[in-house]
Structure 1
Amino acid sequence: MRHLFAAPFFLIRPCLFSFLSVVGLSACWGHFLSSRWKLFGYIPNIWILIKCSLKYVSYCTGFVLSGCLKSPQSAAHRLRIPLPMSIRHTIACGGRLGARLSRESATVGLTRRWSGCRSFATGTMAAGPFCSLDDVNKNVIKLEYAVRGPLVIRAGEIAKELAKGEKKPFTSVIRANIGDAHAMGQKYITFIRQVTALCVYPELMKSPDFPEDTKEHARTILGGCGGGSLGAYSESVGVEVIRRHVAKYIEDRDGGIKCDYNNVILSGGASEAIKSVMELLNRPVDGKPVGVMVPIPQYPLYSATVAEFGMHQINYYLDEPRAWALDIPELARALEESRSTCIPRLLVVINPGNPTGSVLTRQNIEDIIKFAFENRLIIMADEVYQHNVYAADREFHSFKKVISEMGEPYNTMEMASFMSCSKGYMGECGLRGGYCELLNFDPKVKAMLFKMISAKLCSTVHGQAVMDCVVNPPKPGDPSYELYSQERDAVLSSLKERAALIAETFNSMEGFKCNQVQGAMYAFPQLELPEKAIEAAKAAGQAPDVFYAFQLLENTGICVVPGSGFGQRPGTYHFRTTILPQTPLLKEMLARMQEFHQTFIKKYQ
């Protein structure tokens, strides 16, 4: 008896569900009757719809009487009402059927509609996907990442075709599209691999093949891990002892300027930390999105993240004739033009530059800091190539050091800087290690970032261990120091030679202009394309630089990234190539390019 008194209290929610589901079925009927009057010529199908409707109403009634408890069968048992199947499942099926049929185009054949009705009438779920592109986050659809775009996909296809024995004008694919050092033949640093091997498999500590200092490094790292294992979760912001080592590295790099390890976050590569900071500060104001000032050309991570988070990209152009310098009047122009459409909040600076290969002077950095301070912008200093400086007249200046040395009021402004184990002389891209240092952030704001990061648990602890090897390398006198310094210097010296070689080669080619590769791992030459080539690109439905890059790939096997993927001034055409292929392969690559370019120019002259 008490179940009967309780039943009315359970009727409100099921009634609402029933109403919504009836709306779905009504939409289904309305679509049929409005778009297919010849429906009535199909008597069997009418019977299916009637049967479908009767079954639907009976189950809705059963659902209401069931009391809408967590288990409809349980409720039915209590009310002595037998149910042949899950009422919730039926309601979901009916609602989904109505929604699907009501939005289908009138050009879609009747077969699909009848199969959906038959499925419902017989108690089975209609076949087909439950989501389509219409259900995907529109910001994700908008997102583009040129470094791994269609050219790279095609390069992979060509490599497979070559492996199957297909004949091409070349015998191998050269992937110059991405800064993946080890994939291009760069040797790993022995010290890094020895320490991480010991961390992954501590039993190796017993082996005499590992220098004692590598074992001590591994013991220190494992001592900071839960259970002494690299397989344990770390703190969300990273293993404390590694963060302390990062802080010490920053202090030494910047001439003793204090770094608090509590301001250091370890991340899965620099990219993860960059996205976290951008997400943290993505708070629109009065309907206006947050504006992010991004250099053009830029690393596509920033444009992709801006799109993903629904932010507004504020493009400022680097000055190509002045070795890709950052021009303050250009910053001011971009900022003022954006104020009506967004709330400018972040200023991205990549130094050394990707894809430009530029290195900012200290004076240029000071000017940028003053501009950011005057306009209340938070600087995001992407400094992952800080070990990669080749030009004799340039050196790396960290934004933190310059801000600190400028004194009041600049040394109180917020800034986030980023570093990675993927670049430099290490090239450990796949192990995903990086860090972020927060400077002068409000403790409450920092706490929100730490809370957000905690939802991701932690970055890969293996990557954190690699980062420890980068910031805490062997010291003079350590058993590993001599080999470590030889390997490090050999990598950087070779990169310096290749940087000079690639710029010299491009500048010797007709229609090419290439700035000196002062740092990082890329060249970004500008090329003049004949008008006929531009017309051919339009006919192919491609941007001119994309057309050139595809022709280069199909005829030489060389994969580069068109300048339009990074951004460029209107009317100019570029591409980015890495300097990472080892010298013999780089020379082969440049020879292929020269031959192709001559043929291309003659064809479209």
Structure 2
Amino acid sequence: MALRAGDQGQVAMNGLKEKVLTLDTMNQCVRRVEYAVRGPIMLRALELEQELSQGMKKPFTEVIRANIGDAQAMGQKPITFMRQVLALCVDPELLSSPHFPKDAKRRAERILQACGGHSLGAYSVSSGIQLIREDVAQYIERRDGGIPSDPNNIFLSTGASDAIVTVLKLLVAGEGRTRTGVLIPIPQYPLYSATLAELDAAQVNYYLDEEHAWALDVSELRRALAQARDRCRPRALCVINPGNPTGQVQTRECIEAVIRFAFEERLFLLADEVYQDNVYAEGSQFHSFKKVLTEMGPPYAAQQELASFHSVSKGYMGECGFRGGYVEVVNMDAAVRRQAVLSDLAAKAKLSEQIFQRGFPDSLQPVAGAPCLLSRACRLPPRAVQRAQELGLAPDMFFCMRLLEETGICVVPGSGFGQLEGTYHFRMTILPPMEKLRALLEKLSQFHAKFTLEYS
């Protein structure tokens, strides 16, 4: 609420300021987000747990959390082998311990060999460690009876939820009647409604048939799509199989019908398959959308766009807290697939250009591709060139060595790549996380100003 002039003066006298971030000024798309499994009921459950711990009397002795699929919180034991491999990867010194079996050690050594610096703490490419993606591809091939899976179409994520959000971000565009509409099942897992609200996309509900074991009926999809076209532009269809929260398992015939519908209506398919290992009803069988799509043959197999998701949080692993998941994309436009990996690099390139233009005008050509830049920020004063020659160093090598010694920033002199005589460059990557990159660039700019002043 805005303050009147007199109120503002009183606030200033009291040393109080109106808060910048309030419910009224916050992003209203975020304010509309609701996440039922972690909503008011869960907050009250936490309060009750606190009250019980303080000795308050209740008609029960504990709060039983049946609100969320957190298997280990409810007593499921983790698989020993997986925890052993994780422990060995996190603390490689344990590889010499006699308390770990040889097969766990071999698995951990194999993973560490694929990590930068043989350390689990090293950065990986945006799509995830290549070896792990290859292993995921092999898993998918075994699951689908030998149907090929390309590691380049697999993107690792911090749980399936992050992958789902990323794909939805790629799909959402437009505003008003042209904004993206996404068909989601009702009942649904609230991740979808929450994400669509945050992205200001149109939620298009299609209703599962409770009287027929929560079946998915294509005629209901057609009804939802027809009604939605008056208010948005439907572009995607989400299917949760096995269902969450309904628990239904789609038949192969149903999946084929859904694929035909998506193909006819030009809808991108999202298959949330995180409960694929949780099938136990007699006569039920999990069929992956990828397998069914491939076996349907042309034109579907070659053209229908699909993203399928899986996670270590569910099934026999139940490792919710470790946040591991993946998305496999099929028939995704190659340029979009690259963008999914490179969008954060594009933002980093833009940041680098902005800071370089401020600190080193005209020193950097636009960064159009590759995760690195070559800058002529080494516009070295004659005295710096002379000092470098006295030390027997290329001038840009002298600059880069001083930069390393005084700031800890390691870049590569342009003389190592070849350059016109009398010009000096350095090459650096833009791979660090955004905030770390920002700090690096600011420190680099400050060093350049100091260095130039010293040798002017």
Q: Do these two structures clear the TM 0.5 threshold for a shared fold by scoring above it? A: yes
Q: 1:427 aligns with which of 318, 336, 345?
A: 318
Aligned length: 347
Decide whether aligned partners of structure 1 residues 247 and 230 sit closer, same or farther in structure 2, where only a CA change above 3 A counts.
Answer: same
**2:161 — aligned with what?**
271
Greater relative contact order (Cα < 8 A, sep 6+)? 1
**1:235 — aligned with what?**
125
Q: 2:178 aligns with which of 288, 306, 316?
A: 288
Per the normalisation by structure 2, the TM-score is: 0.74
Decide whether aligned partners of structure 1 residues 429 and 117 sit closer, same or farther in structure 2, where only a CA change above 3 A counts.
Answer: closer
**2:276 — aligned with what?**
386
Q: 2:35 aligns with which of 122, 129, 145?
A: 145
Decide whether aligned partners of structure 1 residues 455 and 133 sit closer, same or farther in structure 2, where only a CA change above 3 A counts.
Answer: farther
Decide whether aligned partners of structure 1 residues 302 and 267 sit closer, same or farther in structure 2, where only a CA change above 3 A counts.
Answer: same
Decide whether aligned partners of structure 1 residues 278 and 149 sit closer, same or farther in structure 2, where only a CA change above 3 A counts.
Answer: same
Decide whether aligned partners of structure 1 residues 185 and 284 sit closer, same or farther in structure 2, where only a CA change above 3 A counts.
Answer: same
1:508-548 C-alpha deviation (Å, 9 max, x unpaired): xxxxxxxxxxxxxxxxxxxxxxxxxxxxxxxxxxxxxxxxx
Q: Which runs of 5+ in 1 are unaligned?
A: 1-99, 120-124, 458-605
Q: 2:8 aligns with which of 98, 101, 113?
A: 113
1:166-198 C-alpha deviation (Å, 9 max, x unpaired): 111111111100000110011000011000000
Q: 2:335 aligns with which of 430, 444, 448?
A: 444
1:216-260 C-alpha deviation (Å, 9 max, x unpaired): 111111111111111111111100000000011111111111111
Decide whether aligned partners of structure 1 residues 453 and 372 sit closer, same or farther in structure 2, where only a CA change above 3 A counts.
Answer: farther
Alignment of 1:147-226 (within 5 A): 147-226=37-116
CA distance in 2, matches of 1:456, 1:359: 41
- The secondary structure found in structure 1 opposite 2:258 is helix
Asked whether 1:247 is paired with 2:137, we answer yes
Amino acid at match of 1:447: R
- The secondary structure found in structure 2 opposite 1:379 is strand
Amino acid at match of 1:202: P
Asked whether 1:299 is paired with 2:189, we answer yes
TM-fit CA distance, 1:452: 2.7
Contact 1:236–1:456 (CA under 8 A) maintained in structure 2: no
TM-fit CA distance, 1:152: 0.5
- The secondary structure found in structure 2 opposite 1:450 is helix
CA distance in 1, matches of 2:325, 2:251: 25
Per the normalisation by structure 1, the TM-score is: 0.56
CA distance in 1, matches of 2:339, 2:193: 24
What percent of counterpart residues are identical?
57
**1:332 — aligned with what?**
222
CA distance in 2, matches of 1:455, 1:269: 24
**2:3 — aligned with what?**
104
Decide whether aligned partners of structure 1 residues 286 and 167 sit closer, same or farther in structure 2, where only a CA change above 3 A counts.
Answer: closer
Contact 1:373–1:410 (CA under 8 A) maintained in structure 2: yes
Decide whether aligned partners of structure 1 residues 311 and 204 sit closer, same or farther in structure 2, where only a CA change above 3 A counts.
Answer: same
Q: 1:322 aligns with which of 189, 212, 215?
A: 212
**1:14 — aligned with what?**
none
TM-fit CA distance, 1:209: 1.6
Decide whether aligned partners of structure 1 residues 266 and 206 sit closer, same or farther in structure 2, where only a CA change above 3 A counts.
Answer: same
TM-fit CA distance, 1:130: 2.7
CA distance in 2, matches of 1:287, 1:352: 32
Moved over 4 A (4+): 453-457
Decide whether aligned partners of structure 1 residues 301 and 453 sit closer, same or farther in structure 2, where only a CA change above 3 A counts.
Answer: farther
**Greater C-alpha Rg:** 1
**2:151 — aligned with what?**
261
Decide whether aligned partners of structure 1 residues 117 and 351 sit closer, same or farther in structure 2, where only a CA change above 3 A counts.
Answer: closer
Contact 1:383–1:419 (CA under 8 A) maintained in structure 2: yes
TM-fit CA distance, 1:421: 0.4
Contact 1:236–1:454 (CA under 8 A) maintained in structure 2: no
Contact 1:225–1:234 (CA under 8 A) maintained in structure 2: yes
Decide whether aligned partners of structure 1 residues 268 and 139 sit closer, same or farther in structure 2, where only a CA change above 3 A counts.
Answer: same
TM-fit CA distance, 1:131: 2.8
Asked whether 1:347 is paired with 2:237, we answer yes
Farther off after superposition, 441-450 or 311-320: 441-450
- The secondary structure found in structure 1 opposite 2:134 is helix
CA distance in 2, matches of 1:364, 1:105: 62
TM-fit CA distance, 1:104: 2.4
Which structure has more helix as a fraction of its residues? Answer: 1
CA distance in 1, matches of 2:342, 2:81: 34
Amino acid at match of 2:306: M
- The secondary structure found in structure 1 opposite 2:127 is coil
Contact 1:237–1:454 (CA under 8 A) maintained in structure 2: no
CA distance in 2, matches of 1:393, 1:165: 49
Contact 1:417–1:436 (CA under 8 A) maintained in structure 2: yes
Amino acid at match of 2:225: L
CA distance in 2, matches of 1:336, 1:444: 30
CA distance in 1, matches of 2:66, 2:260: 37
- The secondary structure found in structure 1 opposite 2:106 is helix
Q: 2:306 aligns with which of 406, 412, 415?
A: 415
Asked whether 1:358 is paired with 2:277, we answer no
**1:589 — aligned with what?**
none
**1:34 — aligned with what?**
none
CA distance in 2, matches of 1:233, 1:193: 22
Q: Which runs of 5+ in 2 are unaligned?
A: 349-456
Contact 2:177–2:233 (CA under 8 A) maintained in structure 1: no
**1:404 — aligned with what?**
294
Decide whether aligned partners of structure 1 residues 416 and 456 sit closer, same or farther in structure 2, where only a CA change above 3 A counts.
Answer: farther
